[in-house]
Amino acid sequence: MSYFSAVDVITTKRDGGQLSSEAITWVLGAYARGEVAEEQMSSLLMAIFFNGLSTTELNTWTDQMIASGERLDLKGLSRPTVDKHSTGGVGDKISLILAPLVAACGAAVPQLSGRGLGHTGGTLDKLESIPGWRAFLSNDEIRSQLETVGVVICAAGQGLAPIDRKLYSLRDVTGTVESIPLISSSIMSKKIAEGTHALVLDVKVGRGAFIKRLDQARELATTMVGLGTDHGVSTVAQLTSMNAPLGRAVGNALEVTESVEVLQGHGPADVRELTLSLARIMVGLVGLNVEPAEKLDDGSAYVVFHQMIEAQGGDPDAKLPLAACRELVVAPRDGIVQTIDALRVGVAAWRLGAGRARKEDPVSAAAGVVCLVREGDAIVAGQPLFELHADDDAHLQQGKGAINDAVVLGEQLVNAEPLLLERITK
């Protein structure tokens, strides 16, 4: 093993130079072993934040993140594997519908997911509102459920790209989260280590997403698609708008209920549109000649959802937790809804108790926001805009304070803006 000086690695990147594969391999390995200090890795991350990583550097950086842990072996399953990752939004419950739907189309979907942080929700938090449902499965259980049910949504084990946790915690406190190569390697190392053959990325852009601008979303998507493809994972990205919340429900149990509505052939049109669009990409990536809309409309996807919940100890027919406190927020005047700000709605849901500020905080299953109007709706003074749900009055008051100005009223006629923005392939 070659030995490098951490200071040389930092100054090379600081001055805009290229890091050799050996230098990257050394610095990540030495950091994992505790031989490169936190302040040195902080400096290197900041140098990467400003000067980026070339494609070769990024591939090696990602390889080393993958090599820091185990890789799931999904070879030998009777179905092709395909997964989905969303960069996170408000009301984004798509995985709950999409994963069983794509399994109903004949693929195996290993959805290793995370929890919500801040104003964006997490798939595991949503499913944990179903009584009995278990997020933690062993690798053997994951494989066996993929064979029998065709889909598993569970917690990404601690063994996949473990150095990402260390790096992410450091990025979080050093202002280096918003770096395209660091985000890309963080997301893609975990997805590649998971062992899926194909992957669709839903890259959110807009007010409620952590990427606000289309050009940045395009760059992130292009980088992740390149990384996936270079690592043998057929990867396509769909850029989607996250200016307004997705669907009506924002909050854990509320989103499960809305997902079941869509699985039963009802539910909001935007949730159905995005689910079907991503499902078509996924089945296409693994060469299945099936129209997902048929599997949604004939109830097959709902049957698979039932099986998936039961296989993980949950009762899909159980009553979900209901909020003890509810209150309507009404329109102050007549007007046409110009915008609904996904960020404000997401923050309100978080304040109501549906989200967490730190990884270890608990979340409320029942809390959240139901959006009762859509952009372009003509409304009258006193008409309900939102229904707030909370477990107690203190949370309700915090949510009420946060949802102010989430709806902008005006006189202009508004056409709903497109949800599907661009598709990125290599």
Q: C-beta of 31: minimal distance to ligand URA in Å?
A: 16
In the chain, the amino acid numbered 371 is: C
Tokens of 168: 């992410």
Q: C-beta of 194: minimal distance to ligand URA in Å?
A: 12
User: In 195-268, which residue ranges form alpha helices assigned H by DSSP?
Assistant: 214-230, 252-263
- Residue 168 vs 376, nearer CB to ligand URA: 168
- Residue 118 vs 384, nearer CB to ligand URA: 118
Q: Please tell me whether residue 109 adopts helix, strand or coil conformation.
A: strand
Q: Does 253 contact ligand URA by CB under 6 A?
A: no
Give which of 231, 159, 180, 194 is closest to 81, Cα–Cα: 194
How long is the chain?
Answer: 426
Give which of 304, 308, 298, 303 is closest to 265, Cα–Cα: 298
- Residue 168 vs 219, nearer CB to ligand URA: 168
Q: Annotated catalytic, 395?
A: no
Q: Annotated catalytic, 306?
A: no
Q: C-beta of 238: minimal distance to ligand URA in Å?
A: 17
Residues contacting 265, CB < 8 A, separation 6+ = 296, 297, 299
- Residue 186 vs 223, nearer CB to ligand URA: 186
Q: Which of residues 139-168 bind ligand URA (CB under 6 A)?
A: 168
Size of the site for ligand URA (CB under 6 A): 5
Instruction: Measure the CA–CA gap between 108 and 193, rounded to whole angstroms.
Output: 16
Q: Which residues pair with 337 in a beta bridge?
A: 409
Q: C-beta of 344: minimal distance to ligand URA in Å?
A: 21
Instruction: Work out the angle between the directed axes of helices 38-51 and 6-14 (0-180°, nearest 10).
Output: 20
The one catalytic residue in 68, 129, 185, 186 is 186
Q: C-beta of 3: minimal distance to ligand URA in Å?
A: 29
Long-range contacts: 217-224, Cβ < 8 Å, 24+? Answer: 217/421, 218/422, 218/424, 219/180, 220/87, 220/180, 220/183, 220/184, 221/422, 221/424, 222/424, 223/58, 223/180, 223/181, 223/184, 224/184, 224/187, 224/188
The one catalytic residue in 13, 79, 84, 85 is 85
Instruction: Measure the CA–CA gap between 335 and 419, rounded to whole angstroms.
Output: 23
Instruction: Give the x/- contact pattern for ligand URA in 165-194, rule: CB under 6 A.
Output: ---x-------------xx--xx-------
The one catalytic residue in 84, 171, 197, 395 is 171
The one catalytic residue in 92, 164, 230, 391 is 164
- Residue 209 vs 363, nearer CB to ligand URA: 209
- Residue 9 vs 160, nearer CB to ligand URA: 160
Phi, psi for residue 318 in degrees, rounded to 5? -70, 150
Asked if 45 and 176 touch (Cβ cutoff 8 Å), the reply is: yes
The one catalytic residue in 84, 115, 119, 190 is 190
- Residue 12 vs 186, nearer CB to ligand URA: 186
Other beta carbons less than 10 A from residue 65's beta carbon: 24
Instruction: Measure the CA–CA gap between 193 and 185, rounded to whole angstroms.
Output: 12
Q: Annotated catalytic, 171?
A: yes
Q: C-beta of 384: minimal distance to ligand URA in Å?
A: 34
Q: C-beta of 183: minimal distance to ligand URA in Å?
A: 4
Whole-Å CA distances, 206 to 354, 386, 417? 21, 21, 12
Residues lying near ligand URA in the complex (CB under 6 A): 168, 182-183, 186-187
Residues annotated as catalytic are 85, 164, 171, 186, 190
